Amino acid sequence: MVRIDKLVVVGVGLIGGSFALALKGAGAVGRVVGVGRGAANIYRAQELKIIDSGGALDAATFGDAELVLLAVPVGQMPDVMRAIAPLLGKKTVVTDAGSTKEDVVALARRELKASLARFVPGHPIAGTEKSGAEAAFPELYRERKVVLTPLKGTSPRAKALVKGAWESCGAKVFELEPREHDAVLATVSHLPHVLAYALVDQVAASRDAKRLFSYAAGGFRDFTRIASSHPEMWRDICIANKKALLAELDRYGRGLARVKRMLERGDAKALEALFTGAREARDRWLKNRE
Amino acid sequence: MVRIDKLVVVGVGLIGGSFALALKGAGAVGRVVGVGRGAANIYRAQELKIIDSGGALDAATFGDAELVLLAVPVGQMPDVMRAIAPLLGKKTVVTDAGSTKEDVVALARRELKASLARFVPGHPIAGTEKSGAEAAFPELYRERKVVLTPLKGTSPRAKALVKGAWESCGAKVFELEPREHDAVLATVSHLPHVLAYALVDQVAASRDAKRLFSYAAGGFRDFTRIASSHPEMWRDICIANKKALLAELDRYGRGLARVKRMLERGDAKALEALFTGAREARDRWLKNRE
């Protein structure tokens, strides 16, 4: 098991906070320092014993850190990387939890310079629709997948530390190319988020919104759960992964057009085949997940 | 509270079975007779004490029934109504649990003839993605909405019996015009079902399906829960409510096109506004539901 003397978490929300709590729970970390834009959230994180103290974008915070986790919305990543690059110690390993990887990798190449070999891009595929330090809990990563997208020049020591840290959180660690990662996540995560936001928007924008919502039930609730996710974070993910997401939205549009044609011609057989195939695929997936 | 001496449930699945169990639990029913296509399911329903005995499409089953619930997929409704019309007793009240109402009302006008005044069209807005007698449970309707769409000529006694039965199940009963009902449900139920089926189909149809599914997580699971729903039932709902559903699919397509334009021009502000508005609308809805 890894042992991290000093961990710095930049962005102590659901993701960063749960990482700190999980490592503390596993006895894998000494001191945890939290850095964030919102003083109230950092204060709350300290109260909740997620972090031991609040830090700043300075050498005292980052110079002797063994591991730094960047858990901010992807859109804040440029500012954060630029700010920390000159502060990092010679041995400090940096990883991130960004939901897109091509953009984070390109950014790291531009900004991290001397520390690039000690940067291990990562993405824990876990979360809830809640956000902020209050939402953090130590079991978030248990049995969940974490994808690392290391570069050619990434140091084996750095990769082993990050992998070990996530494993201490109970996660299973996989490796993908950044582009592969972004394409996969566009389909199974970014697309459904946009679809859920769009459905709630459609209902809310109706003249009849109040009555429509009053008849919405459990199916609507679960379908739209992810539309309660952090808007800034999802704005950034969509912009960062725009190309892959647009391609998936196009494919989805073609799929819906196919369903519409089935409906228009009243093709019950084709509809049932589509629904049956989808149900079977989903049920197989659920079974394999267990 | 109502007291029903003999209840006949046609289609002893999640919906019909839960109705029987809830009425039994409330002590509101004497004998429950189940009628269905599948002998195995009827046998299982008897084992599970959902029904007291199996019946058939004959006068012995229907002639002395106080209440008949038709809980079959909408597509089977024509055959069922035609078959029971000549069998119903002079006092037998009939209701249904169909997810669409315009088509059921039109059908009843055509088929039920002498019993039309004792037919109370209904739709319990409750369910899970599971189906069959095994899936039935007595709490399904607790605190849920049931919509009745009575006709001008519906007898007050019949309406009171059906309303009372649903209230004994713990449900809250509302009235809508059939067309209103179908439009509302197209938006908040039928549309999300089609969207969820379409997303699973898109993933399953990918060359890369296995890997895509392997990275799908909790968001995908909840978004697609309703894609595990009964394919035949949803085929029938889509066909029966085709006009309203097509209109909602068109609106949804226009909404997605708007999101795509925001993405294409990298309009972070517009995306965030959309996501924030949707999150707030959903959170308000959830709060009001409590």
Contact check, Cβ <8 Å, A211/B259 = no
**In the block, which residue shows the tokens 């739709």?**
B123
Identity of the residue in A202, A216, A248 whose CB atom sits nearest the CB atom of B255 = A202
pLDDT tens-digit readout, B153-201: 999 999 999 999 999 999 999 999 999 999 999 999 999 999 999 999 9
pLDDT-derived band at B130, boundaries 50, 70, 90 = confident
Identity of the residue in B202, B218, B279 whose CB atom sits nearest the CB atom of A227 = B279
Nearest-Cα residue of chain B relative to residue A208: B184
| Angle subtended at Cα A18 by Cα A16 and Cα A20, rounded to the nearest 5 degrees | 70
> How many Cβ atoms are within 10 Å of B275's Cβ, its own excluded?
28
What is the model's pLDDT at position B262?
98
What is residue A180's three-state secondary structure?
Answer: helix
Query: Mutate which of A200, A232, A275, A279 to test chain B, going by most B C-beta atoms within 10 A?
Result: A275
Rounded mean pLDDT, B120-126:
96
Contact check, Cβ <8 Å, A226/B223 = yes
**In the block, which residue shows the tokens 């106080």?**
B66
Beta strands in chain A (DSSP E): 4-10, 29-35, 53-54, 67-70, 93-96, 119-120, 122-125, 145-148, 172-175
Residue B123 in contact with residue B97, Cβ under 8 Å? yes
Q: How far is B159 from chain A (nearest CA, A)?
A: 21
pLDDT tens-digit readout, B206-247: 999 999 999 999 999 999 999 999 999 999 999 999 999 999
What is the model's pLDDT at position B125?
95
Rounded mean pLDDT, B41-66:
97
Contact check, Cβ <8 Å, A242/B225 = no
Positive or negative CA dihedral for A252, A255, A256, A257? positive
Nearest Cα to Cα of residue B188 among A199, A261, A41: A199
Residue B21 in contact with residue B136, Cβ under 8 Å? yes
Contact check, Cβ <8 Å, A204/B239 = no
Contact check, Cβ <8 Å, A278/B217 = no
**Cα distances (Å, whole numbers) of residue B246 to A252, A276, B19:** 16, 20, 31
Could you give phi then psi for residue A96, rounded to 5 degrees? Answer: -135, 170
Low-confidence ranges of chain A (pLDDT < 70): 290
Query: Mutate which of A131, A172, A222, A223 to test chain B, going by most B C-beta atoms within 10 A?
Result: A223
| B34: its two tokens | 């189940």
Q: Which residues of A are less than 8 Å from B274 in CB distance? A: 197-198, 201
Tell me if ipTM is over 0.95: no
| Angle subtended at Cα B118 by Cα B116 and Cα B120, rounded to the nearest 5 degrees | 90
Q: CB neighbours of B52 closer than 8 A, spacing ≥ 6?
A: B31, B32, B33, B46
Residue A219 in contact with residue B226, Cβ under 8 Å? yes
Q: Which residues of A are less than 8 Å from B193 in CB distance? A: 219
Q: Which residues of B are less than 8 Å from A249 in CB distance? A: 256, 259-260, 263
Nearest-Cα residue of chain B relative to residue A223: B223
Rounded mean pLDDT, B59-63:
97
Identity of the residue in B197, B200, B275 whose CB atom sits nearest the CB atom of A234 = B275
Q: Which residues of A are less than 8 Å from B270 in CB distance? A: none
Helix (H) or strand (E) run with residue B34 in it: strand B29-35
Q: How far is A88 from chain B (nearest CA, A)?
A: 31
Nearest-Cα residue of chain B relative to residue A226: B219
Nearest-Cα residue of chain B relative to residue A195: B256
Number of cross-chain residue pairs from A and B with Cβ atoms under 8 Å apart: 272
Contact check, Cβ <8 Å, A199/B252 = yes
What is the model's pLDDT at position A209?
96
What is the model's pLDDT at position A84?
97
Q: Within 13 A of B66's CA, how many CA atoms are on the CB side? A: 16
What is the model's pLDDT at position A169?
98
What is the model's pLDDT at position B1?
81
Q: How far is B160 from chain A (nearest CA, A)?
A: 22
What is the model's pLDDT at position A270?
98
CA dihedral B50, B56, B60, B65 (to 10 degrees): 40
pLDDT-derived band at B128, boundaries 50, 70, 90 = confident
pLDDT-derived band at B109, boundaries 50, 70, 90 = very high
Task: Say whether pLDDT at B290 is over 90.
Answer: no
Contact check, Cβ <8 Å, A235/B271 = yes
Q: How far is B210 from chain A (nearest CA, A)?
A: 9
Contact check, Cβ <8 Å, B212/A288 = no
What is the model's pLDDT at position A1?
82
Q: Which residues of B are less than 8 Å from A217 in CB distance? A: 125-127, 144-145, 188-189
Q: How far is A5 from chain B (nearest CA, A)?
A: 32
Task: Say whether pLDDT at B129 is over 90.
Answer: no
Query: Mutate which of A125, A129, A177, A187 to test chain B, going by most B C-beta atoms within 10 A?
Result: A187
What is the model's pLDDT at position B180?
97
Identity of the residue in A215, A246, A259 whose CB atom sits nearest the CB atom of B188 = A215
Nearest Cα to Cα of residue B226 among B177, B190, B202: B190
